[in-house]
Chains A and B, each alone.
Chain A
Amino acid sequence: MLKPAAAIAGQVVLYGAFAAFIGYFATDPVYRQIPDDVAVLKVSFSHLGDRECRKRTPEELAKLPPNMRAPLDCPRERSDINFELDIDGQTVVKHVLHPTGLYKDGISTMYRRLEIPAGTHTFTARMQDNLKLEGWRFVKEETVELKPAQAMVIDFHPDKGGLFFQ
């Protein structure tokens, strides 16, 4: 062990180094998540795919126990969901979402994070939640000016008219 004075000086230096190490790496170096001129687009939704239900005939209903006479006969499985997103006319997301659950009866979900240059862009989102049907059931197109570091969300909610930009 060093002489007391030298040991105390050494301890001050080492405690100081510890403080400097903790103090510096507790906040630095600054982490840059995205470049200056970039905005972020989050495409995300959680939606139950459609299913083809059949109306039961009065005869069929009569054969069922009274407590089980549901007018519609619906399969358990949900349809896959098709989704596409164009930015300035170019397709950047093209995705088929599968229903969750062992019996394919759960929601279909999606979360995608895209970095795009800030500025004005035209977004076209298309979604079809019943693949037995042709075309797109939900389409939303909008031109948006995105500021740097702005976060824009493309979501889906039936109460908000289907696809919406936020």
Chain B
Amino acid sequence: MTFEAHCRRLVRAPFQRCEEAFDRVFGGRHNPLRHLGALGLFFLWIIVGSGLYLYIVLDTGVDQVYSSIGQITEEEWYFGGILRSLHRYASDGFMLAMGLHLVREFAYGRYTGFRFYSWITGVPLIWLAFVSGIGGYWIVWDQLAQFSAVATTELLDWLPIFSEPAARNFLAPDSINDRFFTLLVFIHLGVPILLLAALWAHVHRIAHVDHLPSGRLMRGTAATLLVLALIKPALSDAPANLATVPAETRLDWFILFIHPLTDLSSPAVVWTALFGLTALLCALPFLGRRQPAPVAVVDPANCNGCTRCQVDCPYAAITMASHPTRPGYQVAVVDEALCASCGICAGSCPSSTPFRSQERLITGIDMPQLPVDALRAELEAKVAALAGEARVVVFGCAHGARAEALAAPDTAVVTLMCAGMLPPSFVEYALRTGAHGVMVASCRHGGCEYRLGERWTLERLSRQREPQLRGRIPAERLAAVFVSANDDPALAAALDDFKDRLRRLPAAGEPLQPYLRRTAHHA
């Protein structure tokens, strides 16, 4: 195991445990740890909304900038003051969400291969966020702003980028003029706009992006920030005075921690750490390079251009082009650089039905490492070998709970690359070829290795998404469970429970006709 993989494993275990503990309280859909990117965007919109009002009331005169902010804090505490507090606390929340998002994606190893682009484009976002945050504190022009401005320029002066020391701009009270704050506001607006543009690039290669978290999570988070704003409103320190040095400052440690770090070490150490960390983040996709898995392959003869694979692909790896031999039709085209090799496309293809009578099942879009034909053959062989009064087929996910451990004479286990790879017709096929019940073990909500596998699986099985499970399938013979890699006991318990239920079902009234592919002409 490489050092990088070892570090990742050390971080992953506790992070995953925390996520799963949060699942118990919030549920997967509303779990903040599973939606950190969307939560960060929500914080950003709070910052933008509250910032627009602060911009309107801000007077950029050197003497007025402090008083105009003080005025809205004290005289308009019920509106402007709350907005100011929300602006500050949402900024802190954004930094926290961004940091945790970075750690989470690292822990799950989501930075190599097709994820390279999203990872790399995320790195400048960190710089832009801190530039924006630090500059925002200067606008208040209180003692904290003075401390940060002097400390930042002293830090910048270590770099050979200015012809004159930037810290000379804050030497004495008369060093500052009105134009400084105009420039500062311009920067504080411009950098977040750059940040938004960079965010667009960051999610550019992801389909079905969660631009916002669930309504419940947004309401909970907004209410929390509001209560915090009322209990502990953001206040200014004493006005800045460059004739003195603020001995004590109430730092925002989420954004301004770099200043004490510089005091404790030196600008050289801090810049080395910053550039080193940035270089490490950029190099990580290359350090942890893994063997690329075979990507999805399209068979134009079996692709009818329905676009389902294009819609369902979590990474926008599939586009549609003109069919090479059928005029007026389209055909799916896979971008190898973007393909995650998850197989969700194969699960979405209407040609992936095992009821097709060909000896060799060729579907419209398939995975070379686990073709639908091989999946059907595996299922047929395992179902034929089942024995017992509650014969169950378990479709498991390679990234979730270890379903293989459940294999038994009455339990056939078929492991998929992702639960989203399962065409719903396989459920019916299993039931009509000898199984009494089918259990689909998908990852927890928000825990899918490929983002959307568990969501698409649930929607297909509950007949909300094409390809749907056919209506004739009795609900009592199907069980969908959502389990992570730490949930082996839960999966085993769910299977035992499912078997008990199957045993209690009346044998009579079975609505499904048995099916034998080799003698049938159609489904």
Residues of A within 8 Å of B243, CB to CB, are: 150-151
| One of B168, B220, B247 near A148 (C-beta < 8 A) | B247
Q: Which residue of B lies closest to A20 (CB)?
A: B228
Known: A1-B24, A150-B244. A111 touches B251 (CB 8 A): no
Q: Which residue of B lies closest to A37 (CB)?
A: B247
How far apart sit A38 and B244, CA to CA, in the bound complex (Å)?
Answer: 11
How far apart sit A14 and B23, CA to CA, in the bound complex (Å)?
Answer: 12
How far apart sit A89 and B248, CA to CA, in the bound complex (Å)?
Answer: 31
The minimal Cβ–Cβ distance linking A6 to chain B, given in whole angstroms, is 8
Pairwise interchain contact B27-A7, C-beta atoms closer than 8 A: yes
How far apart sit A44 and B157, CA to CA, in the bound complex (Å)?
Answer: 12
B93 an interface residue at 8 Å Cβ cutoff? yes
B22 an interface residue at 8 Å Cβ cutoff? yes
The minimal Cβ–Cβ distance linking A29 to chain B, given in whole angstroms, is 8
How far apart sit A154 and B89, CA to CA, in the bound complex (Å)?
Answer: 39
Pairwise interchain contact A25-B168, C-beta atoms closer than 8 A: no
Residues of A within 8 Å of B249, CB to CB, are: 30-31, 33
| One of A1, A11, A33 near B248 (C-beta < 8 A) | A33
Pairwise interchain contact B253-A25, C-beta atoms closer than 8 A: yes
Pairwise interchain contact B172-A166, C-beta atoms closer than 8 A: yes
Pairwise interchain contact A44-B228, C-beta atoms closer than 8 A: no
Q: Which residue of A lies closest to B88 (CB)?
A: A26
Residues of A within 8 Å of B154, CB to CB, are: 111, 113
How far apart sit A33 and B246, CA to CA, in the bound complex (Å)?
Answer: 7
Pairwise interchain contact A109-B164, C-beta atoms closer than 8 A: yes
Pairwise interchain contact B165-A111, C-beta atoms closer than 8 A: yes
Pairwise interchain contact B165-A110, C-beta atoms closer than 8 A: yes
Pairwise interchain contact B171-A155, C-beta atoms closer than 8 A: yes
| One of A15, A29, A33, A36 near B263 (C-beta < 8 A) | A33
Known: A34-B247, A149-B244. A27 touches B252 (CB 8 A): yes
Residues of A within 8 Å of B15, CB to CB, are: none
Pairwise interchain contact B147-A44, C-beta atoms closer than 8 A: no
Tell me the chain B residues, 50-106 only, with Cβ under 8 Å from chain A.
88-89, 92-93, 96
B1 an interface residue at 8 Å Cβ cutoff? no
Residues of A within 8 Å of B244, CB to CB, are: 149-151
B227 an interface residue at 8 Å Cβ cutoff? yes
The minimal Cβ–Cβ distance linking A147 to chain B, given in whole angstroms, is 8
Residues of B within 8 Å of A15, CB to CB, are: 220-221, 223-224
Residues of B within 8 Å of A32, CB to CB, are: 247-248
A68 an interface residue at 8 Å Cβ cutoff? no
Residues of A within 8 Å of B24, CB to CB, are: 1-2, 7, 10
How far apart sit A15 and B92, CA to CA, in the bound complex (Å)?
Answer: 15
Binary interface profile of A, 21-58, with partner B (CB < 8 Å = 1, else 0)? 11101111111111110111010101000000000000
| One of B163, B165, B231, B245 near A33 (C-beta < 8 A) | B245
The minimal Cβ–Cβ distance linking A150 to chain B, given in whole angstroms, is 6
Q: Which residue of A lies closest to B174 (CB)?
A: A166
How far apart sit A29 and B248, CA to CA, in the bound complex (Å)?
Answer: 10
Pairwise interchain contact A33-B247, C-beta atoms closer than 8 A: yes
How far apart sit A91 and B447, CA to CA, in the bound complex (Å)?
Answer: 64
Residues of A within 8 Å of B259, CB to CB, are: 31
A100 an interface residue at 8 Å Cβ cutoff? yes
The minimal Cβ–Cβ distance linking B457 to chain A, given in whole angstroms, is 19
Pairwise interchain contact A149-B92, C-beta atoms closer than 8 A: no
Pairwise interchain contact A23-B89, C-beta atoms closer than 8 A: yes
A106 an interface residue at 8 Å Cβ cutoff? yes
Q: Which residue of B lies closest to A44 (CB)?
A: B168
The minimal Cβ–Cβ distance linking A12 to chain B, given in whole angstroms, is 9
Pairwise interchain contact B23-A106, C-beta atoms closer than 8 A: no
Q: Which residue of A lies closest to B157 (CB)?
A: A111
How far apart sit A149 and B249, CA to CA, in the bound complex (Å)?
Answer: 13
How far apart sit A77 and B222, CA to CA, in the bound complex (Å)?
Answer: 61
Pairwise interchain contact A22-B228, C-beta atoms closer than 8 A: yes
B250 an interface residue at 8 Å Cβ cutoff? yes
How far apart sit A125 and B232, CA to CA, in the bound complex (Å)?
Answer: 48
How far apart sit A151 and B251, CA to CA, in the bound complex (Å)?
Answer: 20
A133 an interface residue at 8 Å Cβ cutoff? no
Residues of A within 8 Å of B221, CB to CB, are: 15, 18
How far apart sit A30 and B147, CA to CA, in the bound complex (Å)?
Answer: 13
| One of A2, A7, A23, A166 near B232 (C-beta < 8 A) | A23
Pairwise interchain contact A11-B220, C-beta atoms closer than 8 A: yes
The minimal Cβ–Cβ distance linking B40 to chain A, given in whole angstroms, is 14
Residues of B within 8 Å of A163, CB to CB, are: none
21 A-B pairs whose Cβ atoms sit less than 8 Å apart in the complex: A1-B23, A7-B24, A10-B25, A11-B25, A22-B228, A22-B254, A23-B89, A25-B92, A26-B232, A26-B253, A29-B253, A30-B248, A30-B251, A31-B249, A33-B246, A33-B263, A44-B171, A113-B154, A113-B167, A153-B171, A166-B172
Interface residues of A (CB under 8 A from B): 1-2, 7, 10-11, 14-16, 18-19, 21-23, 25-36, 38-40, 42, 44, 46, 100, 106-107, 109-111, 113, 148-151, 153, 155, 166
Known contacts A26-B88, A151-B243, A151-B245, then 13 further A-B pairs from the complex at CB < 8 Å, ordered by chain A residue: A15-B223, A22-B89, A23-B228, A25-B92, A26-B92, A27-B251, A31-B259, A38-B247, A44-B167, A46-B164, A46-B165, A150-B245, A155-B171
